[in-house]
Copies of this chain bind each other. A is one copy, B any other.
Amino acid sequence: MAKNVQNVEAITNREVDFAKWYTDIVTKAELVDYGAVRGCLNLLPYGYAIWENIQHTFDGWLKETGHENVYLPMFIPESLLQKEKDHVEGFAPEVAWVTHGGSEELAERLCVRPTSETLFCDLYSHIIHSYRDLPKLYNQWCSVVRWEKTTRPFLRTVEFMWQEGHTAHENGEEAEAETIKILHLYADLCENVLAMPVIKGQKTDKERFAGAERTYTIEAMMHDGKALQSGTSHNFGDGFARAFDIQYSDRNNQLQYIHQASWGISTRLIGGIIMTHGDDNGLVLPPRIAPIQVIIVPIAQHKEGVLDAARSLKERLTAICKVKLDETDKTPGWKFSEYEMKGVPLRLEIGPKDIENSQVVLARRDTGEKKFVPMDQLEKEIPALLDDIHRNMYEKAKANREARTFTAKTLEEFEAILAKQTGFIKAMWCGNQECEDIIKEKTAATSRCMPFDQEQISDTCVCCGKPAKKMVYWGKAY
């Protein structure tokens, strides 16, 4: 019973120690187990099922928009990684190197992919010859490795799971359109599936992906006011194509370089879900990716008819939601705590009295509200409640973001705000990286993005006072 006792022990209070609260949840909700290698996780069934649900939804959207899945090797020869100068500078310091196969030393070291731009370029150089071969809209689901010093479950790990899209286009306009289209898909996923509001925008040059011309991002705010970069989409222009010599015959039979984009989301989103929605009782899962949407807890299950009624209810509800019945001999109270910890959106209680009255109790994880629902109304009530839970979680997260979003016109204001609380600062910027560096040094905040929805906070840069070019969201980030 050791494991179950552990589950219902109280976790650290969220307001007392957010970081400890977070790591308590990832283990006590049985999302992960710490693996045998530093910074690597064992994703347990409940944690992995969340990822599978995200993957299933997003993979469907990718296929609907004409993307195709492929799988490229996990190893990149050192010489291939080095072909694009900015890219290798960005990634070489944090890759794992394979030097031996069996007992033999390799003639050339191989790195374990930190990302696969170079492999896709190598592939595209083989298979793209004519404009008829374009666009290529390839995606892969895999894991990648980055030799991070400091790691935290889901947020920053040595190995993590993600999807990486790598597309090839005839020209810059098409590559840009793809880059933006995917960013909107990512935002849709966060907002309409994970109930996580995001800000869409462009990264500054300083925060751009290694080798990209432009990087777009969606930035979410966690409960503690820190930002989580939740998905990025990069337009490479023809930089990689020139480095890898990927040319095609265009419609006028002229040789042209392809233009490329790449984009990714990862298991980091699970960290985002935890830190956006979780509370002092544990996880709170968005209904649309919850592995269990409704947990049935029988009350006085030893009494005649209770388990039978619970089982037949479970059979019935399988048609409309992901439902589980807990028949174990733990007490109902114990089960309540366990599935609260696991963030199950709805709890359905059924006992002898309920059966007599042809009703059940439905309890919401997000608000704690309980209500009696006639047994014959469940097919209507449950989907409606799940939708309402989604909506409420989204609104709550958005309200938190709004309450923690400030504007600053001077660096003093900027510093004063962040000295009191953590949150987003909207402030104008001159476009100069030196100002970003100064702001980071003074406040620990980085530029999160230049949002698509620009506002004119003032006319001058918050840092240097020179004419402003862009409104920027600033914040401390995970």
Residues of chain A having any CB pair with chain B under 8 Å: 1-3, 33, 35-37, 40-45, 48-49, 51-52, 68-77, 80, 92-103, 110, 112, 119, 122-123, 126-127, 129-130, 132-133, 138, 142-143, 145, 147, 158-159, 161
Does A37 lie within 8 Å of B159, measured CB to CB? no
Across-interface contacts of A123 in B (CB, < 8 A): 33, 35, 42
Across-interface contacts of A142 in B (CB, < 8 A): 143
Does A3 lie within 8 Å of B36, measured CB to CB? no
Across-interface contacts of A147 in B (CB, < 8 A): 101-102
Across-interface contacts of A43 in B (CB, < 8 A): 70-72
Across-interface contacts of A49 in B (CB, < 8 A): 68-69
| Distance of A72 Cα from B397 Cα, bound (Å) | 32
Does A35 lie within 8 Å of B73, measured CB to CB? yes
| Distance of A142 Cα from B159 Cα, bound (Å) | 13
| Distance of A3 Cα from B132 Cα, bound (Å) | 10
Does B33 lie within 8 Å of A127, measured CB to CB? yes
| Distance of A119 Cα from B49 Cα, bound (Å) | 20
Write the nearest CB–CB distance from A239 to chain B, whole angstroms: 19
| Distance of A80 Cα from B35 Cα, bound (Å) | 12
| Distance of A382 Cα from B212 Cα, bound (Å) | 48
| Distance of A94 Cα from B41 Cα, bound (Å) | 25
Does A102 lie within 8 Å of B112, measured CB to CB? no
Write the nearest CB–CB distance from A453 to chain B, whole angstroms: 36
Closest partner residue, chain B, to A128 (CB atom): B3
Write the nearest CB–CB distance from A249 to chain B, whole angstroms: 9
Does B99 lie within 8 Å of A97, measured CB to CB? yes
Does A80 lie within 8 Å of B36, measured CB to CB? yes
Does A77 lie within 8 Å of B110, measured CB to CB? no
Across-interface contacts of A37 in B (CB, < 8 A): 73, 75-77, 110
Among candidates B48, B92, B143, residue contacting A70 with C-beta atoms closer than 8 Å: B48
Does A45 lie within 8 Å of B70, measured CB to CB? yes
Closest partner residue, chain B, to A79 (CB atom): B36
Does A103 lie within 8 Å of B98, measured CB to CB? no
**Given that A2-B129, A96-B100, A147-B101 are contacting pairs, would A73 and B112 also be in contact in the complex, using a CB cutoff of 8 Å?**
no
Does B69 lie within 8 Å of A45, measured CB to CB? yes
**Given that A36-B77, A69-B49 are contacting pairs, would A99 and B102 also be in contact in the complex, using a CB cutoff of 8 Å?**
no
Write the nearest CB–CB distance from A2 to chain B, whole angstroms: 5
Q: Besides A41-B73, A75-B96, 16 other CB < 8 A contacts?
A: A35-B122, A36-B77, A36-B80, A37-B73, A37-B110, A40-B73, A44-B70, A44-B127, A45-B69, A51-B71, A74-B74, A74-B145, A75-B158, A92-B102, A94-B101, A95-B101
Among candidates B35, B93, B101, residue contacting A96 with C-beta atoms closer than 8 Å: B101
| Distance of A96 Cα from B126 Cα, bound (Å) | 27
Does A1 lie within 8 Å of B112, measured CB to CB? no
Does A40 lie within 8 Å of B130, measured CB to CB? no
